[in-house]
């Protein structure tokens, strides 16, 4: 069974721009969660989607948003990028409790 | 103030020895715990999990111990190999929040295996 895939793997943007990241979960998994990983803050939960609905949300500003499609694929969007948004963005999918992570999208904001 | 990078504790172990990685968690309501391994340039990889109604669980070469009294979790790796070199994270979840998908991660421990 294929694992979680994320695209793109690397991205460079400038301040003020917006970005959309994509995540395809493991086949059959309906829950998709997003995390931000930085050297300063570690791994932090952004939000979780289940059956196209946001089920849980972390403590991030409204510039961070996401959605989930009927095939469980998910996207997250960051608008008005700031330098501090530079991070590894990780997507995880789960069938029950155990979350399986993708390789991440490394975003660099210049 | 200016944010500083997380200082990852490092555990240096000789190949063939056993490794013990520790983690203190904060939420006494947490009832599900996971250990992940993250290699450079990759996403976290699931190693083993444990529910709060257990105090020990074993996998292949790995054992997780849970002490709810002192809110402590440990990961034991038997016969450590060079391929075990990575950063190890513990994560916790309180399923009473309505979802098992909001994990709270520890800061991580870097395991270095020396030959």
Q: How many CB atoms lie within 10 A of CB B92?
A: 22
Q: Does the pLDDT of residue B98 top 70, yes or no? A: no
Where on the phi/psi map is residue A20: left (φ > 0), alpha (ψ -120 to 50), or beta? beta
Dump pLDDT digits (tens) for A61-100.
Answer: 999 999 999 999 999 999 999 999 999 999 999 988 889 9
Determine, for residues B102 and A33 on separate chains, whether the beta-carbon distance falls below 8 Å.
yes
Residue B6 has pLDDT above 70, yes or no: no
- CB contact under 8 Å between B6 and A40, yes or no, is yes
**Contact state of B43 with A45 under an 8 Å Cβ cutoff:** no
Task: State both tokens at B33.
Answer: 């715990």
A48 and chain B in contact, CB less than 8 A:
yes
Neighbours of B73 (CB within 10 A): 23
Residues in chain A: 110
Q: pLDDT at position A89, please?
A: 98
Cβ pair A45:B93 closer than 8 A: no
pLDDT of residue B2: 36
Q: What is the mean pLDDT of residues B43-53?
A: 95
Structure confidence at residue B1 (pLDDT): 35
pLDDT band (50, 70, 90) for residue B99: low
Nearest-neighbour CA in chain A from B8: distance (Å): 10
Give me the pLDDT at residue A26, please: 96
A60: contact with B, CB 8 A cutoff: no
Question: A6 with A102: CB under 8 angstroms?
Answer: yes
Q: Give the pLDDT confidence score for residue A19 in this predicted structure.
A: 98
Whether A97 has its CB under 8 Å from any CB of chain B: the answer is yes
Could you give phi then psi for residue B95, rounded to 5 degrees? -70, -10
């Amino acid at each position: 069974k294929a694992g979680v895939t994320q695209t793109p793997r690397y991205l460079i943007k400038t301040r003020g721009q917006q970005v959309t990241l994509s995540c395809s979960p493991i086949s059959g998994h309906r829950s998709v969660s997003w995390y931000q990983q930085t050297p300063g803050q570690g791994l932090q939960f952004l939000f979780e989607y289940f059956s196209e609905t946001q089920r849980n949300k972390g403590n991030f500003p409204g510039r961070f948003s996401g959605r989930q499609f009927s095939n469980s694929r998910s996207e997250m969007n960051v608008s008005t990028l700031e330098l501090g948004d530079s991070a590894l963005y990780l997507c995880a999918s789960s069938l029950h409790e155990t979350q399986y992570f993708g390789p991440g999208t490394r975003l660099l904001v210049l | 103030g200016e944010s500083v990078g997380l200082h990852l504790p490092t555990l240096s172990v000789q190949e063939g020895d056993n490794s013990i990685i520790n983690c203190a968690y904060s939420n006494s309501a947490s009832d599900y715990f996971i250990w992940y391994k993250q290699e450079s340039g990759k996403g976290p990889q699931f190693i083993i999990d444990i529910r709060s109604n257990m105090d020990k669980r074993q996998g292949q070469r790995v054992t997780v111990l849970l002490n709810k009294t002192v809110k402590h979790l440990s990961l034991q790796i038997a016969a450590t190999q060079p391929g075990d070199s990575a950063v190890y994270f513990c994560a916790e979840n309180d399923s009473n929040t309505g979802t098992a998908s909001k994990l709270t991660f520890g800061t991580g421990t870097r395991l270095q295996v020396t030959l």
